[in-house]
Amino acid sequence: MEINIIKSMLLAGSKNILENKKTLNDMNVFPIPDGDTGTNMDKTMTGIVKVLMDIGDRDLTPEDFDELYKSALMNSQGNSGVILSQWLKGFLRALRTETELNPGNLDAAFISGTESAYASVADPVEGTFLTVCREAQEDAEDLFDEDTTVKDFMKNVVEGASESLKHTPDKLAVLKEYDVLDSGGMGFLCLVTGMLSALDDGFVYDFTEFESLKPSFSSNGTLTTSSDGEEFGYCTELVVKIEENKLANFNSDTVRIDMNSFGNSLVLVQDGSDLKIHIHTLKPEDVLSYFHKYGEFMKLKIENMTLQHHENFLTAVRDCAIVAVADGDGMEELYRSLGVKEVVKGGQSDNVSVQNLLNACKSVRANHVILLPNNKNIIMTAEKVRELCTDSVVHIVPTKSMAEGYCALSLIDAEAPYDEIEKTMLESLEGVHSGFVSVADKSGVYNGITVNAGDYIGVVDDDVIVSSSKNKKTALKALTAAIPGIGDVEAVTIFCSSYDNISDIEISKAEVSVFCPNAEISVAYGGQEIYDMVILFQ
């Protein structure tokens, strides 16, 4: 079988993950029940699909394998996304110079994928993606004989993955508590099931599901990408409400073709009568008048990229800059006030991608970047960024919550040398605890506590649920009581969400002070969306 079949297999795998995205999200309980595994794995596969689109009909070259991996990694976000990208790394590297695909080198590629995935995790946990990818390959290899075809092998991989997945709750207690299978492992099953389907005669190699990812062609017909940063002109974004009587005549394919003569980097998304356009053009006025005939602009944004380019170019390189991941306008403002140069929006259920974080690290133009991931799930993404960032030395201060991030920032002098900042940050995190109150989005038993979806849960240090209650106050009390050494806590800072009201916060202060009567309790506006309250105990 020609090696080019890999293109179909990867595309089919991506499609299957996309189709099962919601299911995967809903299953997600490990390491944090934040329902993002499907989204994360889909993002990684999106990276694969983008490159497949670029490759088009031509034959695969060894460099294509490198590009496929690189793009998967760059698009990955969250633990599950990064681990998947690392599995792909091993899988793709093993096949890089092959001209045909046979059961032998396919097996070797699966072994290489397993090894690479395991190597990416400092402390591998069984009952997860790792177990499923390993056991699937082992089962398929056990059934391997001289009559085995590529399709047979893939069938055995799928069966092995399916069998392995069933046993994940035996290996990971938290899955049993929630009575679910591992979502990452399920994602792997989706991937290989898709890959197998590509070997069917009826498989159609098309990108229909990935319409929005399609690259655009410039007027002379050559492919343009936006990765080299050498673009000039105006970045033009608009949202148009297509008038009802014009909706029937609106043809996005025609518009797409028309736009080729206006510029490049086109993104065009239609949702009913809403049309969203992003394009880099030298003549934004032409783009505006083109779309104005379909309806009114709901939103308009035009930026001079040449100017941006020059401004960036003129900004001197700093010695040190701090980049942090945070959610909430208040939180962002607080962080910036304490010297953070770039805040990347993200957090628990909205993990940032390696690419976004890498871009942020690059944009600050510093010799040293201090990175605050502010979430356990993002620490791994940050580590990838550290590997990939060639412009700066990236130092990760492994903050597990936005509260910890604030704590690390509060004692530094942002203008001090990077090593001093890093040292002060690490010291300031010693003996510090944080917690949050949030609404549970799924039911289950965790840490011996029965959680009902919709309950307020009190969580200590990012992942230990200590309470579940209909009452926010109860969750807050339990969480405060569970903070180690609460009686000696000197200072408490409560970061409230955008929907908390003042009387709630005053009650919260009183509740907390019962447990640490000597503490100075402050309230700050965080504006975060996912947590009702984020609390720092120092």
User: Which residues are near another protein by CB under 8 A?
Assistant: 333-334, 337-339, 407, 409-415, 428, 490-493, 520, 522, 524, 538
Taking the complex as a whole, the smallest distance from the CB of residue 336 to another protein amounts, in Å, to 8
Q: What angle do CA 271, 274, 280 make, to 5 degrees?
A: 100
Residue whose CB is less far from another protein, 189 or 343:
343
Residue whose CB is less far from another protein, 91 or 495:
495
Taking the complex as a whole, the smallest distance from the CB of residue 191 to another protein amounts, in Å, to 45
Termini Cα distance of the chain? 62
* Tokens matching residue 318: 């700093």
Taking the complex as a whole, the smallest distance from the CB of residue 409 to another protein amounts, in Å, to 7
Looking at 241-318, list the stretches that DSSP marks H as alpha helix, in order from N- to C-terminal side.
Answer: 244-247, 252-259, 284-292, 305-314
DSSP-derived letter for residue 77 is B
Q: What region, left, alpha or beta, does residue 42 occupy, with left being phi > 0 and alpha being psi -120 to 50 degrees? A: alpha
Residue whose CB is less far from another protein, 243 or 415:
415
Taking the complex as a whole, the smallest distance from the CB of residue 415 to another protein amounts, in Å, to 5
Q: What region, left, alpha or beta, does residue 24 occupy, with left being phi > 0 and alpha being psi -120 to 50 degrees? A: alpha
Residue whose CB is less far from another protein, 402 or 407:
407
Residue whose CB is less far from another protein, 24 or 516:
516
Taking the complex as a whole, the smallest distance from the CB of residue 329 to another protein amounts, in Å, to 13
Taking the complex as a whole, the smallest distance from the CB of residue 466 to another protein amounts, in Å, to 23
Taking the complex as a whole, the smallest distance from the CB of residue 411 to another protein amounts, in Å, to 5
- Number of CB atoms found within 10 A of residue 301's CB: 12
Residue whose CB is less far from another protein, 225 or 337:
337
| Strands annotated E in 305-355 | 318-326, 340-345
Taking the complex as a whole, the smallest distance from the CB of residue 530 to another protein amounts, in Å, to 21
Crossing angle for the helix pair 5-19 and 37-55, to the nearest 10 degrees: 150
Counts of helices then strands in the chain (DSSP H, E): 22, 16
Residue whose CB is less far from another protein, 191 or 536:
536
Residue 167 CB contacts under 8 Å (≥ 6 apart), including other chains: 127
User: Using an 8 Å Cβ cutoff, are 338 and 365 in contact?
Assistant: no
What would the 3-class secondary structure string for 109-172 be?
Answer: HHHHHHHHHHHCCCCCCCCCHHHHHHHHHHHHHHCCCCCCCHHHHHHHHHHHHHHHHHCHHHHC
Residue whose CB is less far from another protein, 274 or 420:
420
User: Using an 8 Å Cβ cutoff, are 425 and 397 in contact?
Assistant: yes
Residue whose CB is less far from another protein, 411 or 514:
411
Taking the complex as a whole, the smallest distance from the CB of residue 130 to another protein amounts, in Å, to 39
DSSP-derived letter for residue 193 is H
